[in-house]
Amino acid sequence: MNYYDLFLGSLALFISYFTGIMVCFVSKYFDQYTYDHINGPQKVHKSEVPRTGGIALFLVFLIFTVIDNNYVSLILLICSFPAFLSGILEDLTKKILPLWRLLASFITALLFIFLTDYKIISLGIEFLDIYTNIFFVSSMLTIFASVFLIQACNIIDGLNGLALGTSILILTSIVLISLKIDDNLIFNLSYISLFVIVGAFFWNFPNGKMFLGDGGAYLIGALLSFYIIMLSFRNLEVAPFSLFFLVIFPIYELLRTTIRRTFSNSAKAIEPDTKHLHSMIFKFIFALKKNKLYLWQINAISSIFTLFFPLFGCFIGLLTIFFEDYQIYFPLLVLLYLFITELTFYLIEKELKLNNKL
């Protein structure tokens, strides 16, 4: 890292923040299309807010692709475009079915494979890695992982700063790993992305002036999945399970939500509800502080508490990469993460039921 990197990072933050402010300003003149309504099971805000953060992010990434003359970054933006576009259309029209958005994520993953030739070729388990060398198997794993993370980032975008804060933690981890293993390509991609996201964070937290929307969440999810798959492909010495821990929070949220909705009599797998971890934490804090704090303050506090879980995951991932001896404890670390998360769910549900707030 040198002074030029610091300059680019600062420039990325500056452009990201002010592009967001400009997009937010323009959105006011198209409020019938761009604003998020206050009605809905997942709404935790009292005023209408533009959902055009994804447009701002895409513009900034495009600007920096031109500034840095980065061919790889351009290819990755092209790959992410189908998922991003489906999200933006949903943000503007509120009429794009979840199935169509899921299909767009599949197209994004397919483009990534065929335009970059990057795939998941190792799971870190010797007897399974025999099969990951098969093109079809590695391609299906890559598609599944990419689509899952794209959808997972959308799932956690329910509180001001939560999806962006989680992305900052993941990108910071990727930057540190790429510095350790001296992977300049991944460093450049993740470093600029980190500062772009930090710039966006300031217009989304603590009092959300503009939301990411589905478009922004899908874009971030796509890019994160690309960076992690590329990092693994280019550096087989990096344990795949360590990289898995970087994104364990959004993945676990989506996996748990899908299982819960599938086996619930009262919810369908693709319908929104308020039983995500961040939603439960919000309801718990709201029940405690509703007469003492503004809604945006409760929202921000809930987001900060929820960020412990992606922080914990990133900590484990970095720990097992920088201190490889800890990799033998992977199964125990997964169980520890699941135990802490499920215990949190249980204690909050119990408290809310006791106070008839669930």
pLDDT digits over 321-356, tens only? 999 888 899 999 999 999 999 999 889 988 887 776
- Among 196, 162, 218, smallest CA distance to 57 is for 196
Reading the block at residue 66, the tokens are: 């031109």
What pTM did the predictor assign?
Answer: 0.92
CB atoms under 10 Å from CB of 5, counted, come to 14
The more confident residue out of 216 and 1 is 216
Q: Taking CA 72 as the corner, what is the angle to CA 19 and CA 231, rounded to the nearest 5 degrees?
A: 105
Over residues 103-124, the mean pLDDT reads: 95
Continuous H helices in the chain: 3-27, 31-34, 53-67, 71-93, 98-116, 126-132, 135-155, 162-181, 184-204, 213-234, 240-246, 248-262, 277-289, 295-306, 308-322, 330-354
- Burial 38-63, CB ≥16 within 10 A → b, else e: eeeeeebbeeebbbbbbbbbbbbbeb
Q: What confidence tens digit (pLDDT) does each residue in 139-197 have?
A: 999 999 999 999 999 999 888 889 999 999 999 999 999 999 999 999 999 999 999 99
Q: 291: pLDDT confidence band, cut at 50, 70 and 90?
A: low
pLDDT of residue 60: 92
For residue 49, the SS3 value is strand
Measured between alpha carbons, how far apart are the two ends of the chain, in Å? 49
DSSP secondary structure, 69-107, as one string? T-HHHHHHHHHHHHHHHHHHHHHHHS---HHHHHHHHHH
Interior CA angle at 258 toward 157 and 263, to 5°? 140
